[in-house]
Structure 1
């Protein structure tokens, strides 16, 4: 396989390092501008999908919502598979439809990595029988919400007790919190959909990890899932598991047996 990466941030660098360990590449990185500091040293860089080399098998989007919106359709139309961790971008129905149409035209697939959450296989299976209710609760330390609308709701620097700063649908969360609500989008896409999935976001000065919970009921019964996720050392806003899930998605592409 010829594997490329979109974006040269913390997640992109993690994916590049793990690919190199597995002798899988990366073969190219698509960036808006040349990153500083020797990021992905030795990997060819391009700034346009048109400049990607022939024979690319899959691109891994590590550039956030803007990267998926800017390059996703062109990549899929070229017949190149695309793995993304930017699931929140699909809360925009126009972009979601455009990506699906591009994948059909290019006979390619858009693969949604599980990101910072688990239990999505359970939600997908439960959806077959019908889901009655799905709720996602995201809890982070106050500093984890820096740069988000939480700053307009709370004084993150002086918060002394857990406080809810958002309640609404997964679609509303994904649009309002593009850098924080990819997990809410993943839960919605796997289960009841963007408009039927309820979301609660909490700033909590007591916790030291990013905590994600799913609560679901349906014809299958009910379940609760909770994970305490660590961030990447190079970027406290990037989930380590989200980066790992991109590698897992690549491995499923090449493995003779998958789960």
Structure 2
């Protein structure tokens, strides 16, 4: 039986915990939850207790949690599944996680896919352009650092508004709760400084939409994803938690994979 420990029991983690408890992943069970705020019957109060009860740890608590605990999990010999991939825009953290010896490092693909064809295209030849446009319910993109005019448009406007247009590295810093798909795309293709990101707030949107475009010598690609938003956090796609469960299924049954 694969023992699964969980860091964070919020919008994503709570769904993972519930589904594991209901047997969603054959041969895996939830054995510990490390969250200092949310109560849970399997809650533990420190990382050491979590690690002693786990074969694999799922990080679902945000960038700060990955910075604080990620290296320690790997160095303990426990496998680590990362949900907050946007944190890896920090080159120092990415290097530390990569060089840590012990448990394996898995990056959860989250709310988008298509990385297999893009990686194959990169083997054929360079990708000249990679971009992603993420459109979310307008209120989900409000941030304290925004101009008052932009905040007003997000709160009461009737038209979509682009609140960011720039490199993935900057997007991950400015929208840590919303840019994990951007980070995953960057790591799978041309890097954080090569992927262009647009973040769009749409007052009419009820779902989270991501459109990935790429072009290179192998061809031209457009991948579109429209996901239901998490009922507990509109900045997150509801399917993300199930991407974690899919990752755990693959870890539990490594002989079954799509190559």
Q: For residues 26-80 of structure 1, what are the alpha-carbon distances to aligned partners after superposition, in whole Å with 9 as ceiling and x for unaligned? A: 100112x2424xxx3x32x223322235362100111011111111010000011
Q: Any unmatched runs of 5+ in structure 2?
A: none
1:181 to 179, 182, 186: 179
1:119 maps to 114
Asked if the contact 2:31/2:53 (under 8 Å) is kept, the reply is no
> How far apart are the structure 2 equivalents of 1:5 and 1:184?
23
| 1:139 match | 135
Please give the alpha-carbon distance, in whole angstroms, between the structure 1 residues aligned to 2:189 and 2:144: 25
> Partners in 1 of 2:49 and 2:207 — Cα distance?
40
Residue equivalent to 2:166:
168
1:2 aligns with 3
For residues 201-212 of structure 1, what are the structure 2 equivalents within 5 Å? 201-212=199-210
Q: Deviations over 1:124-145 (max 9, x none)?
A: 2222222111001011121121
What is the 5 A alignment of 1:83-162? 83-102=81-100, 105-106=101-102, 108-129=103-124, 130-147=126-143, 149-150=145-146, 153-155=150-152, 156-162=154-160
CA–CA distance in structure 2, aligned partners of residues 101 and 113 of structure 1: 19
Q: How does 1:56-67 map to 2 (within 5 A)?
A: 56-67=54-65
Describe how 1:8-27 pairs up with structure 2 within 5 A: 8-22=9-23, 24-27=28-31
Runs in 1 of length 4+ with deviation above 4 angstroms?
A: 148-152
CA RMSD, 1 decimal: 1.7
Aligned residues: 250
Task: Give distance in 1, aligned partners of 2:123 and 2:146.
Answer: 35
1:150-194 deviation digits (Å, cap 9, x = unpaired)? 565342112121111111111110011111111111111111111
Assess, with a 3 A threshold, how the Cα gap between structure 1 residues 151 and 35 changes in structure 2: closer, same or farther: farther
In the superposition, the TM-score normalised over structure 2's length comes to 0.91
Q: Is the 8 A contact 1:163 1:202 kept in 2?
A: yes
Q: Secondary structure at the match of 1:236?
A: coil
Distance between the aligned counterparts of 1:192 and 1:211, measured in 2? 22
| 2:257 paired residue number | 258
Q: TM-score, normalised by structure 1?
A: 0.91
- Match of 1:228? 226
Q: Structure 1 residue 35 and structure 2 residue 38: aligned? A: yes
Question: Residues of 1 paired with 2:119 and 2:22: CA distance?
Answer: 32
Structure 1 position 208, deviation (Å): 1.7
CA distance, structure 1, for counterparts of residue 85 and residue 37 of structure 2: 25
User: Measured at CA, do residues 150 and 213 of structure 1 come closer, stay the same or move farther in structure 2, by a change above 3 Å?
Assistant: farther
